[in-house]
Structure 1
């Protein structure tokens, strides 16, 4: 089932990756969590035909290829858009322009990185639980 496939996390900041690794370890999901510090490497990974992740969680501000640009590529490339992968942004940005720009990219969520570990953990848990509960519902409605 898709809900047990890999969760991709694209985050260039090492400290943020470590926090997310700890959160996912604590939450204990059966999914393999695949981390990328470089969004261009993540793009090459998801372009592989056999790769069909459960969800992508991506930072916005990254060197080489930012989160907005990555999302645009996924939407524009038929092979990638056909994979129908929920795409969630995580960011420190809370300004209206960033949120508006993110929403224009047909994302499925936007999480503000919280300085409060427990709050951040709860946001991640709610996100994953939501998609685990609803991934089949959305697929069935498309048919």
Structure 2
């Protein structure tokens, strides 16, 4: 059996954290989900970890450090420039998509409040980012 592949979720809303984590754990049991509650926690945590995440889901709207600032900070560090970071947000604003991609996001996905759509999105993440290996 493969070791648990880490997925990190950077999200300040506790309900969203719980639902997204539950979706990953129920759809793809080998996934190890780590929760961070604000963007300002990502770089220090990346620097301390011995195993980089296979995928980071990053919310845009957080209180202390938003997703844009966090993405810019991560991409400024050579070690983390190729780390897969997908913006996972409620925003449907096309300018947020453009800015995210300009800052180096690996993808941009709008969160659904529908549980079935969220499960489908998680399955798609798992397939796209090689989480099923």
Q: TM-score range by the shorter chain?
A: 0.7 to 0.9
Aligned partner of 2:69 in structure 1 is 69
TM-score, normalized by length of structure 2?
A: 0.88
Aligned partner of 1:105 in structure 2 is 103
Q: What is the SS of the residue equivalent to 1:32? A: strand
Distance 2:78 2:107 in 1: 22
More displaced 10-residue stretch of structure 1: 8-17 or 72-81? 72-81
Is 1:11 matched up with 2:2?
A: no
1:90 touches 1:113 (CA, 8 Å); kept in 2? yes
Greater helix percent: which structure?
1
1:12-63 CA distances to partner (integer Å, 9 max, x unpaired)?
A: 0011111112211211331311011122222211022624111111101111
Distance 1:50 1:75 in 2: 19
The structure showing larger relative contact order (alpha-carbon pairs under 8 Å, at least 6 residues apart) is 2
Aligned partner of 2:94 in structure 1 is 96
Aligned partner of 1:138 in structure 2 is none
Shift of 1:79: 3.0
Task: Say if 1:49 and 1:91 are closer, same or farther in 2 by CA, change over 3 A.
Answer: closer
Q: Mark the structure with the bigger radius of gyration.
A: 1
Task: Say if 1:50 and 1:27 are closer, same or farther in 2 by CA, change over 3 A.
Answer: same
1:101-135 CA distances to partner (integer Å, 9 max, x unpaired)?
A: 111122221111112110111012102211107x9
TM-score, normalized by length of structure 1?
A: 0.82
Aligned partner of 2:124 in structure 1 is 126
Shift of 1:8: 0.5
1:11 touches 1:37 (CA, 8 Å); kept in 2? yes
